[in-house]
Amino acid sequence: MRNLVVVPIVLPLIGAALSILAGRSRLAQRIISITILSAVTVVAVVLLVVVDRDGTVVSRAGGWEAPLGITLVVDRFSAIMVAVGSVVLLAVLLYAVGQPGAERNHVGFQSVYLILAAGVSASFLTGDLFNLFVAFEMMLTASYVLITLGGKREQVQSGMTYVVISLVASALFVTTIALIYAATGTVNLADLAGKMAELPPSLRSAFSVMLLVVFGIKAALFPLFFWLPDSYPTAPSPVTAVFAGLLTKVGVYAIIRTQTLLFPPDTRPGTLILTLAGLTMVFGILGAIAQGDVKRILSFNIVSHIGYMVMGLGLFSVAGLAAAVFYTVHHIVAKTTLFLTGGLIEHVGGSSELSRVGGMVRTAPVVAVLFIVPALSLAGIPPLSGFVPKFALVDAGLASGEYLIVAVSLLVSLLTLFSLIKIWSGVFWNPAEQPPEATVHEVGRLGGPALMVLPTAALTVLGVAIAAGAGPLYDLSQRAATDLLDPSGYIHAVLAR
């Protein structure tokens, strides 16, 4: 089983190399990429089942023991993230193959996309800070290419903002790693959990805040989110969808992992985290309400809903963290689906501006259904998948006496519904106020090309399945949360000789 741990990282890298070699054959590239990501998805699901049944699985590169060697670790939390991430990566790849645009016009799309997939998996599986940095750089280097595919002026300008902010975050991250290594003599996460406890409380608090800032940039946490709404909407639709669904969640994963594993309860900045969560919710949703473009509304909604995940962490309780884990799974699926639907709106309607498209509930009813289901889920409407984690967050917040953040979360949920109704009204219900910017494509029975509609429909069905299986999934999230708050099993599995 230990050999399977490396598969989600190594297999996409092998696939990227094969895709480059097959660059003259687009069909061969597609077969390689789809086969690789399908295999990764199967392996990820197997790992999740095994880890939930038997406990944490550790793979040591070259047989070198921790903390000296490179260690890959799969516990319940990382297994959940790899499994959901693999499903989303596969669905978005199929969508990209079906969409006229980025994947068809650029021979390097498949190889770069597979490198991105490897970086995402490595971020979830790595057991030390330095290799987390390496995984981030692998992922971000691929994202630099993907976000500027097409070479349009606005893409390059927005991409430059993304690159500059990411480089600043990377510089701060590697500086923080150097300071932590100087203070403790290790970068292995399990080893750091013990070494951090030996440091003065003030130094531990400083490291906690530094890591929160580093990963807060990558997660688009307030006030570090300003780069996201300008960068994401200009990228091709499948690229935006996978960025929206996964890249910010890698930052959230890193925040949750480091704050719960490395720092004892007395130095966890719970009040600071809850304050940032509330501000992220409010500023994100106010930005969404002010927009008149589907992609920009959805981009600001990403920011807002990062606050819910961070809120669960800030409570530092099993109930709060379980809600955060469940919310992360729900949000990855729902937000990816919404951005894929946004691509369908742009493809069918010729624009993503609310004033230039309209009446699609009659001209493209399938697209309307594919939008409304994840939209209502994102707003937390029962019985869809977003209701359970929001209810769990509210319950955990009330149990912890954090009434203010609970009130903010409920208000933002209402405003989220308002922002999504704005899209529904502008795109699907009311007629267009202006002609579209681009050529309107034939709708067809499905409301768009089959390979664009079917993956979007599959993710919509997955979102409904999450709601239907909310009980078992929440139980799994509780077990993951228990492991996070009591990391002794993780530490023993990594450091056991």
Whole-angstrom distance, CA of residue 344 vs CA of residue 360: 11
Q: What is the pLDDT of residue 464?
A: 93
Whole-angstrom distance, CA of residue 277 vs CA of residue 265: 19
Largest CA distance in the chain: 68
- Per-residue pLDDT tens digits for 180-222: 999 988 999 999 988 888 888 889 889 999 999 999 988 888 8
- Per-residue pLDDT tens digits for 324-371: 999 999 999 999 999 999 888 887 877 777 777 777 878 888 888 999
- The mean pLDDT of the chain is 87
Place of tokens 């070259």: 62
Q: Which long-range contacts (CB under 8 A, 24 or more apart) does 135-141 make?
A: 136/170, 136/173, 136/218, 136/250, 137/170, 139/247, 139/250, 140/166, 140/170, 141/115
3-class secondary structure for the chain?
CHHHHHHHHHHHHHHHHHHHHCCCCHHHHHHHHHHHHHHHHHHHHHHHHHHHHHCCEEEEHHHCCCCCCCEEEECHHHHHHHHHHHHHHHHHHHHHHHCCCHHHHCCCHHHHHHHHHHHHHHHHHECEHHHHHHHHHHHHHHHHHHHCCCCCHHHHHHHHHHHHHHHHHHHHHHHHHHHHHHHHCCCEHHHHHHHHCCCCHHHHHHHHHHHHHHHHHHHCCCCCCCCHHHHHHHCCHHHHHHHHHHHHHHHHHHHHHHHHHCCCHHHCCHHHHHHHHHHHHHHHHHHHHCCCEHHHHHHHHHHHHHHHHHHHHHHCCHHHHHHHHHHHHHHHHHHHHHHHHHHHHHHHHCCCECCCCCCHHHHCHHHHHHHHHHHHHHCCCCCCCCHHHHHHHHHHHHHCCCHHHHHHHHHHHHHHHHHHHHHHHHHHHCCCCCCCCCCCCCCCCCCCCHHHHHHHHHHHHHHHHHHHCHHHHHHHHHHHHHHHHCCHHHHHHHHCC
Lowest mean pLDDT among 6-15, 106-115, 229-238: 229-238
Q: Report the candidate in 154, 282, 155, 295 with the shortest Cα–Cα distance to residue 225.
A: 282
Q: How confident is the model at residue 69 (pLDDT cuts 50, 70, 90)?
A: confident
Q: Is the pTM of this model over 0.85?
A: yes
* One-letter identity of residue 229: P
Q: What domain count does the chain have?
A: 1
Q: What is the pLDDT of residue 435?
A: 60
Whole-angstrom distance, CA of residue 242 vs CA of residue 270: 30
Any residues with CB less than 8 A from the CB of 170 and at least 6 apart, and which? 133, 136, 137, 140
Q: What is the pLDDT of residue 105?
A: 61
Tell me the β-bridge partners of 73. Answer: 58
Q: How confident is the model at residue 106 (pLDDT cuts 50, 70, 90)?
A: confident
Q: Report the candidate in 453, 280, 301, 454 with the shortest Cα–Cα distance to residue 380.
A: 301
Residues 236-240 have a mean pLDDT of 84
Q: How confident is the model at residue 104 (pLDDT cuts 50, 70, 90)?
A: low
pLDDT at 436 over 60: no
Instruction: Return the half-sphere exposure (C-beta side, CA atoms, 13 A cut-off) of residue 20.
Output: 10
Q: Report the candidate in 354, 241, 236, 225 with the shortest Cα–Cα distance to residue 287.
A: 225
Domain of residue 123, residue span: 2-495
Q: Give the orientation angle of helix 387-399 with respect to helix 470-485, to 10 degrees.
A: 40
Q: Which two tokens stand for residue 336?
A: 């990816």
* One-letter identity of residue 6: V
Q: Report the candidate in 196, 303, 212, 225 with the shortest Cα–Cα distance to residue 255.
A: 212
- Per-residue pLDDT tens digits for 33-57: 999 999 999 999 999 999 999 888 9
Angle at 342 between CA 241 and CA 437, to 5 degrees: 125
